[in-house]
Chains A and B, each alone.
Chain A
Amino acid sequence: MNPSARPPSRSVSCADPEAWKRANPGSAAFELHEAGVVFSRTSALADANLVVNPGESLALVGPSGAGKTTLLRLLNASQKPTTGSVCVDYRRLDELTPAELRGVRARIGFVHQDLALVPSLRVLSNVIAGGMGRMGFWASARAMTFPRRAQVERAAAILERVGIGEKLYQRTDSLSGGQRQRVALARALYQEPSALLLDEPVSSVDPARARDVVELVTEISRERGITLLVSLHDIELARAFFPRLVGLRGGRIVFDRETQATSPADLNALYSLEGLERVEPGLRA
């Protein structure tokens, strides 16, 4: 393991949930222990150790193919680790039943890089779809066709908060890329999540909007006191908005420190070409 990685003293054991629950009822904690993911003999992530405390806000930085998306998917229980273990709220995910896993996912808002909205539906329906993890089948069928007033009002309030309140009844495919991204964010917020995971949120918008989006999600997660993890390839944006940076390269965590403590050498290690050759080629996703 890289010596510059976060020292294990900050880590919280998977087996110690009580103190945390009392202190942080509404925000999620994550822990990766020696976690690795192999896709048909290609390693996407190897030996990842990471502790994220409730309410923390951090950015995953690194070039594309570094394993940022895989790491986020591990935390959201949408990807099983090939090796090692993943804990969410101090519970090992591999010990949970499918129903409990659904419960974990329902509390984690994940904004996909490609947004993954249904373009032919209204914005309202796309946002309300975020609540499905807590609804039964018939309740969600009703919510998607004839939503209750309370659901519409909650969706409207969230859209207002992300700055597109007037788009409630528009078809999603009539919106611009930046507006659609806010719909995807609103869908995640409709889950009333204890953590927000955003995968490359600035890849689908122009640079001027990118800053706004990152600012918006950091504000919202602070307001709600929820844990925030954002993967970014733009290191300047990450330094400007996040107190903690985790650098990935070639499927490995190469540094994990407070933003002020990162050195130019850390960042060079992420992006310099000569370093790239030192990383085993098989480890690049």
Chain B
Amino acid sequence: MSPNAAPRRPFPLSPRWRVVLTIAAAGVVAWLALDAPLAMLVPQEGGWRIVRAFFARALTPALDYESDVPADTPPILWQALAAARRTLVFAVAAMSVALAGGIVLGFLSTTTWWATELAGGAGPVRRALARTIGPAAWSVARVVIVVMRSVHELLWAVLFLAAFGLNTAGAVAAIAMPYAGTLAKIFSEMVEEAPRDAAYALRDAGAGPLQVFCFGLVPRALPDLCAYAFYRFECAVRSAAVLGFFGFPTLGYAIAQSFENLHYGEVWTYLYALVLLVVAIELWSGALRRRFVA
């Protein structure tokens, strides 16, 4: 081949076009397979009435209960605040477990702690680590992570409800399980993809493999790790709220009850409480990120 001739494409379509067309085709095939015309998203006559009644209260959430309640019931705003607090407590408890599990499993499921590349010389122990112990631990961690992630927190909740009954620890575990798996997966990927220049520099200054990992590699990924952990915390708040539909005393429980009684104003009150909670966390995490990692 002469050096001036551009290499010919082996296939009429460029790889980029093939990817785009494949994605589009997958979407079309899925819609056809489901036989779900978009017209089904327009409600029927009875449906319209509920939709109108529900959205009519969007700008006028209930400031008082919409039916008679026992005399000693606290005011609805107080109730919403208490449910929001319980939601937050559930989320914090679940995240504290998920973070610990995610860090341990995330460490085990990176190749960087046993690969000889960052070790700078391999004695018999390092070689054994790189050949057998490391890959074995890595495979086990990967499998555990896949199992934890592939079951959604609501399915874990159903499972734990059946096993333990309506149990707070079970609810926290239901959120913590898939979250630990997801955190582990993303943490390990972020560490693998972090720039390695500082790690090599520490290795070249005589640092050991664990020092290189913890102080050369992880700090390079730390801003991303923190941002992702905050994002998962937000998700945990929403998951904790949804667990209320199973009877746990979070915002979801209050929402479900009011909805069943057709008290749409109350539903909006609780929904706004959830939105405010998520917005507050977003503002707080944003401020922390700007200060420490941005």
Contact = CB atoms under 8 A, between A and B. Distances in A.
B215 interface: yes
A261 interface: no
Contacts of B122: 98
B207 A140 contact: yes
A140 B119 contact: no
B220 to A, nearest CB: 6
Interface stretch (A17-25, A99-107, A244-252): A99-107
B204 interface: yes
A261 to B, nearest CB: 33
B208 A78 contact: no
Interface string A113-155: 0111110110000000110111101001100100000000000
Interface string B196-227: 01101111111110110011100110110000
Contacts of A120: 219-220, 222-223, 293
A129 B123 contact: no
A99 B123 contact: yes
Tell me which of A105, A107, A114, A117 has the highest count of chain B C-beta atoms within 10 A of its own C-beta: A105
B135 interface: no
Nearest to B223: A120
Nearest to B215: A144
Nearest to A80: B121
Given A98-B122, A120-B293, A105 B204 contact: yes
B126 interface: yes
A104 B121 CA distance: 12
A43 B206 CA distance: 27
A263 interface: no
Tell me which of A99, A102, A135 has the highest count of chain B C-beta atoms within 10 A of its own C-beta: A102
Given A78-B200, A105-B205, A144-B215, A118 B220 contact: yes
A259 to B, nearest CB: 28
A140 B123 contact: no
Contacts of A112: 197, 200-201, 204
Contact of A102 (B206, B214, B220): B206
A144 B122 CA distance: 26
A28 to B, nearest CB: 13
B205 A118 contact: no
Contact of A117 (B198, B204, B205): B198
B206 A116 contact: no
19 contacts: A76-B204, A77-B120, A78-B203, A78-B204, A98-B120, A102-B207, A109-B205, A112-B200, A114-B197, A116-B198, A117-B198, A120-B293, A129-B216, A132-B205, A134-B206, A141-B215, A184-B201, A191-B205, A191-B206
Q: What 5 A-B pairs come out closest when comparing CB atoms? A: A133-B206, A106-B206, A116-B201, A98-B121, A116-B197
